Amino acid sequence: MSQHHSSHTGMHTSISEILKAKTLKSSRRSLPCLAQSQTHPQNLNHFLSVPLSPEPKTYSHSVSASCTHITPPPTGKHEQTCLCETCLSVLNYCFIFANKILLNALINFQGNNLENPSGLMFRDGKKRIDYILVYKKSSPQVEKRCTFERNLRAEGLMLEKEPSLTNSDILFVKIHAPWDTLCKYAEQMNIRMPFRKKCYFTDWKKKTMGGRFQLRFRQLKSWLPRNPMKLDKEALPDLEETDCYTAPFSRARMHHFTINNRETFFSNSTRSRIVHHVLQRTKYEDGKSKMGINRLLGNSTYEAAFPPHEGSYKSRHPIKTHGAQNHRHLLYERWARWGIWYKYQPLDLIRRYFGEKIGLYFAWLGWYTGMLIPAALVGLFVFLYGLFTMDSSQVSKEICEANTTIMCPMCEGNCSSWTLSDSCVYAKVTYLFDNGGTVFFAIFMAIWATVFLEFWKRRRAELTYDWDLIDWEEEEEELRPQFEAKYSRKERVNPISGKPEPFQPFTDKLSRLMVSVSGIFFMISLVLTAVFAVVVFRLIAMEKFASFQWEFVKKNWQFATSGTGVCINFMIIMSLNVVYEKVAYLLTNLEHPRTESEWENSFALKMFLFQFVNLNSSTFYIAFFLGRFAGRPGDYNKLFHRWRMEECHPSGCLIDLCLQMGVIMVLKQIWNNFMELGYPLLQNWWSRRKMKRAGEQNKSKEELPQWDRDWNLQPMNAHGLVDEYLEMVLQFGFTTIFVAAFPLAPLLALLNNIIEIRLDAYKFVTQWRRPMPARATDIGIWHGILEGIGVVAVITNAFVIAITSDYIPRFVYAFKYGPCWHVHCKAECLRGYLNNSLSVFDMGELKNGSYHPRYRDYRAPPWSPEPYDFTLQFWHVLAARLAFIIVFEHLVFGIKTFIAHMIPDMPKDLCDRMRREKYLMQEMMYETELEHLQKERKKNGKRYHHEWP
C-alpha cells in the first residue's frame, strides 16, 4: 500500500503511482515484512468492538491525500482520453474514501460515542499504545514514579494516563513510541528489517533441473487428497512465503529499507520490545543501579508492566465470512480452539505475536508430539503382539495349569500356602509387557531419542533462518536488581561493555554455591526418606492383604499391594513438588545469579533434579531393588526384624514396574492439565466476582478498554517457560527411561501432548496477559538435559531387560537347559521352564509339616550335600545378565553415535541458501547505494557516471 509521504524524500505520491501500486506480499521469514501484511491490526483495531464489513484490501486511507493534489489536466485529444480514465479512477477512489468516512461515523455512533473502544490507541485515536504500566494511586512511591516517567519522556516516549473503570485506585500509564524513537533504538538493538525483494535460491536451482519434471510432479500432487492437518492459507494470509531480505536497521541507510507505511513498518511485538528495552534502562533516581522497570516492580512503585493484547479474541461474526479482527482473534480461531486439535500450528503467527522464545517452545512441543507418533505406533504394536500371543505363552500356560504346585506362604503368622495356579491372571498380564518385543522396543526407543534430538537441531536451524536469528547474538544482559543491591559496593570493569559494574567475589560465590548444593542433597535425602516410607507401607500392606478375610483380595494381593502403594506414592510426589518449588526458588535467590538467564538456568536445573528424583526414585526401587534382598524360606531378610522383605512373583517383577509407571503417568498428566487450565480460570473468575461485588463494573466486559481487560487477566508466571518445559522433559524421561517395562508410555504421552498444545494455546491467548516478546535461538539448558536423559535411558533399559525382566533367565534356559538344547527337534524351547526356575523347601525345618512347597530362586534342594546353595544355573544367568548389559549398551551407544554423525545439524540446502543469500545481499547493498548516490547527484544537477562515486 502506498502512502502520501515518501519514506525518504518527503514528496507527495501521484495518482498514477497509486494506481500502479501493488499489494505487498506478507513475509514468512521477516518479522517486519509480516508487520505490513493485509491483516495487520492497524487496519482492524481502530474500531475493534464493532463488527466491520469486508473492505477492499487494495485501498488505503492514504488516498485522501492524493485526492487533494490533482495535477491540472492536459488539453490534447489523446490526452483527453487519458484524462477521462484518470478522472474516473480518481472519482472511484474518492467515492470509496467517502464511504469509509460514512462507515467510520456510523461505527462511532454505534459505539455510544466511546473514544477508542478497542483500547489500543491514545485518546486522539492516532497514537498506538505499545506498553502499559499500572500503579495504585495510594502508592507512596510518587517521587520515583514521577522521575521515571519524566526520564521516559526525555528518551522520546509519549505517555498518557487513564483511570481504571473497574477499580478507582488503579491508574494506567499508556506508552507510545514515536517513529524517531523507534528508529533510534531499532538501530541500537540491531533489529533486522526488510530492504529488498527476495530472490529465492530455489528459483535458479529449479531452472537448472528442468521444468518438465516439476510440472509432472505438481500434476501428480494435485491428484492426491489434500492434507487435512495443514492450515488453510486463505484463512491465514499472514503465513504466505517471504518476499524480502532483511538487514540490521540503520538510520543512515534508511533508503535501503522497504518503508511503505511508517505505522506498520515496525510490528506490534517489535514496538513492545523496543519500549521494554527503554524501560529497563531508564533511571528513576540518581545512581548507577537506580534504573529499570524490574526494580520499580519489585518495590511496588508499579503494580504491573505488560504489552497490550491486540483486542478481543472473540467476534460476533464467523471468521470465514468477516475475517479476523486482529492477530489474537486469528490465533484463537486457528490455534487455540479445541476443534482444530489435528491441525499444524501457525508458528510464524505465534512467533510474531508472542516472540521467538515462546514460538520456539511451541515449535519444540509440536516437533516432540509429531515424533511421538512412530514411537506410539511401535509401542502399540508391541503391546498388541503380547495381547495376541498371550494364550500361547508357555510360561503362562504352565502357571495356569500348576494346580498341584504349592508355594511358600508370602508372610509370617496367619498366611497359608497357596497354589501357583491362583496367579494365572497375574502371569498373563505380565506377559503383555514382558515378551519377545521388549528388547526390540528398548533399542528402538534409544535410537528414537537420538533421532528426535538430531532432527530437532535441523528443525531449529530452519526456524532460526526463517525467523532471522542466524546472525542474531544475544545482547549483553542487564544485571538483576538483587545482584546490584547486594554487590553495589564492589565493582569491576565489564570486559564487554568497558563500564564498571557490581562484582561478586569468588569466595562469596563459592560459599553460596556450597550452601545451595547442600540444600539440594538435603532435599534429595528427603525424597529417599519418603521412598523408604512407601517401602515400609508396601511390606505392611503385603502382609495384611495376603492374610485378608475377603477371598478376592487375598487371591489378588499382588495387585492390591502395588495399587495402594502407587496411590500413596503419587500423593507424596505431588505434596513434595510444592515444597521443592519453594526450596528451589530460595536456593536460587541465595546464589544471587548475575543475570536473568543465569537465574532461569539455575532454577530450571534445580527444579529438574528435585522433580526427577521425586518422580523416579520409587520407580528405580521397584525396577532394581524389589525382590533382590528377600532371602529364602527359613532365612528371610526382615526390615527392623519385623516385616519380611517383599519378593517378586514367579512370573517376574515387571508388572509392578508397569503398574507404577502407568498409574503415576496418567494421574500426573491429568493433574497437570487440570492445574494449567483450572487455576487461571478460577483466578479470573474470582477477580470478576470481586469486581461485581464491589459494584464497580458499570460496563460489560466487551465494552471495557483493552488495558482494563488485560489487567484483569493473570500474569505469566514468574518462572517464564520453566514450568512448561519441565513438565514435558519429565514426560520425555518417563517415555524413554523405563519404556521397556511400559510400551504404552509413548501413546499416553502422545494423547497428553495433543491436549497440552491446545491447553497452552488457550491459556496464552485467553487467560494470560500478553507476555513480553523475547528473542531466543534455542530451548536453552533443556537441550542438554534431554541429551542426558537419552544417555540414562540406554543404561536403565539395559538393566530393566537384564535384571527386572525374565528375558535373560528364559533365554539361558532355552539355549542351555531346555529341550531344544538336548534334543534337536521343533519342541517348545521353554517347556519345563517354570519347574526349572522354582526351588524346593522343606517345611519340616519350621515344624509346620513335612510337605515341600516351592519358591522362586535357583538353589539346591534340601536333600543335596549343600542345601540351599546357589546352583550353577544361577551363575550362568548372572553372567548372561552382565554380558547383555555390556553388549546392549555398547551396541545402542554405537548406533546413537553413528546416527548423530550421519545427520548434520543444518540441512545442506539451507547452508547453500544462506551462502547464496549472503552473496546476493552484498550485491544488493552495493547496487542500492550506487542507485541512491546517482539519484542524489542527478537531483543536485551534478554530472554522474556509472562507476562507484
**258-262, 542-546, 785-789 — which one is most confidently predicted on average?**
785-789
> Does pLDDT of 19 surpass 80?
no
pLDDT value at residue 199: 54
Nearest Cα residue to 468 out of 694, 217, 270 = 270
> Does pLDDT of 460 surpass 50?
yes
pLDDT value at residue 662: 81
Q: Which position has the higher pLDDT, 457 or 594?
A: 457
* 3-state SS class at 735: helix
> What mean pLDDT do residues 692-708 have?
63
> What mean pLDDT do residues 457-461 have?
91
pLDDT value at residue 942: 56
> Does pLDDT of 64 surpass 60?
no
Nearest Cα residue to 582 out of 607, 601, 600, 599 = 607
- Assigned C-alpha cell, 582: 519453594
**188-192, 570-574, 789-793 — which one is most confidently predicted on average?**
789-793
pLDDT value at residue 173: 93
pLDDT value at residue 158: 93
- Residue 129 makes CB contacts below 8 A (sequence gap 6+) with 119, 120, 121, 122, 174, 175, 176, 308, 706, 707
Q: What is the CA radius of gyration of the chain?
A: 35
- Residue 528 makes CB contacts below 8 A (sequence gap 6+) with 617
Nearest Cα residue to 59 out of 107, 18, 17, 7 = 18
Cβ-count burial of 224 within 10 angstroms (0-12 exposed, 13-18 middle, 19+ buried)?
Answer: exposed
> What mean pLDDT do residues 333-353 have?
88
Note whether 739 and 321 are within 8 A (CB). Answer: no
> Does pLDDT of 68 surpass 50?
no
- Residue 406 makes CB contacts below 8 A (sequence gap 6+) with 417, 418, 419, 420, 851, 853, 854
Note whether 598 and 479 are within 8 A (CB). Answer: no
Nearest Cα residue to 34 out of 473, 355, 474, 438 = 355
pLDDT value at residue 77: 37
pLDDT one-digit tens code per residue, 904-939: 888 888 888 778 777 777 777 777 777 777 777 777
> Does pLDDT of 25 surpass 50?
no
Nearest Cα residue to 515 out of 586, 603, 580 = 586
Note whether 875 and 885 are within 8 A (CB). Answer: no
The average confidence (pLDDT) of the chain is 76
Q: Which position has the higher pLDDT, 396 or 213?
A: 396
| Triad 628, 629, 631: Cα angle to 5° | 115
Question: Measured on CA atoms in the order 599, 600, 605, 609, is the torsion positive or negative?
Answer: positive
> What mean pLDDT do residues 162-190 have?
89
Note whether 707 and 129 are within 8 A (CB). Answer: yes
Buried b or exposed e, range 344-379, using 16+ CB within 10 angstroms: ebbbbbbbbbbbbbbbbbbbbbbbbbebbeebbebb
- CA separation for the pair 29, 193 (Å, rounded): 11
> What mean pLDDT do residues 782-808 have?
89
pLDDT one-digit tens code per residue, 618-655: 888 888 888 777 778 878 777 777 777 777 766 667 77
**191-195, 488-492, 652-656 — which one is most confidently predicted on average?**
191-195
pLDDT value at residue 74: 40
> What mean pLDDT do residues 215-235 have?
70
pLDDT confidence of 316, banded at 50, 70, 90?
confident
- CA separation for the pair 348, 37 (Å, rounded): 13
- CA separation for the pair 20, 9 (Å, rounded): 19
- CA separation for the pair 745, 730 (Å, rounded): 12
Q: Which position has the higher pLDDT, 207 or 557?
A: 557
Q: Lowest mean pLDDT: which of 116-130, 236-250, 374-388, 861-875?
A: 236-250
- CA separation for the pair 115, 120 (Å, rounded): 11
Ranges of each domain in the chain: 88-184+269-306, 812-884
pLDDT confidence of 551, banded at 50, 70, 90?
low
pLDDT value at residue 364: 94
> Does pLDDT of 372 surpass 90?
yes
> Does pLDDT of 608 surpass 50?
yes
Question: Measured on CA atoms in the order 337, 342, 347, 348, is the torsion positive or negative?
Answer: negative
> Residue 218: how many CB atoms within 10 A of its CB?
9
Q: Which position has the higher pLDDT, 639 or 893?
A: 893
> Does pLDDT of 29 surpass 60?
no
Note whether 745 and 735 are within 8 A (CB). Answer: yes
- CA separation for the pair 250, 467 (Å, rounded): 19
pLDDT confidence of 391, banded at 50, 70, 90?
confident
Q: Which position has the higher pLDDT, 454 or 246?
A: 454
> Does pLDDT of 315 surpass 70?
yes
> Residue 948: how many CB atoms within 10 A of its CB?
8
pLDDT value at residue 553: 67
Q: Which position has the higher pLDDT, 736 or 561?
A: 736
> Does pLDDT of 863 surpass 80?
yes
Note whether 923 and 245 are within 8 A (CB). Answer: no
pLDDT value at residue 554: 66
Length of the chain in terms of residues written: 949
Strand ranges inside 500-625, DSSP E: 500-502
> Does pLDDT of 35 surpass 50?
no
**695-709, 791-805, 816-830 — which one is most confidently predicted on average?**
791-805
Amino acid letter, 444: F
Pairing of strands 131-136, 406-407: unpaired
Note whether 245 and 196 are within 8 A (CB). Answer: yes
Note whether 451 and 900 are within 8 A (CB). Answer: no
Q: Which position has the higher pLDDT, 166 or 9?
A: 166
- CA separation for the pair 310, 108 (Å, rounded): 19
Backbone angles phi, psi at 390, to 5 degrees: -65, -40
> What mean pLDDT do residues 714-734 have?
86
Q: Lowest mean pLDDT: which of 74-78, 382-386, 831-835?
A: 74-78
pLDDT value at residue 821: 65
Enumerate the β-bridge partners of residue 636: 631
Q: Lowest mean pLDDT: which of 102-106, 595-599, 686-690?
A: 102-106
> What mean pLDDT do residues 93-104 have?
43
* 3-state SS class at 808: helix
pLDDT value at residue 181: 92
Q: Lowest mean pLDDT: which of 263-267, 479-483, 840-844, 932-936?
A: 479-483
pLDDT value at residue 746: 92
pLDDT value at residue 105: 40
Number of H helices, E strands in the chain: 33, 16
pLDDT one-digit tens code per residue, 257-294: 878 888 888 888 889 989 998 998 888 887 666 778 88
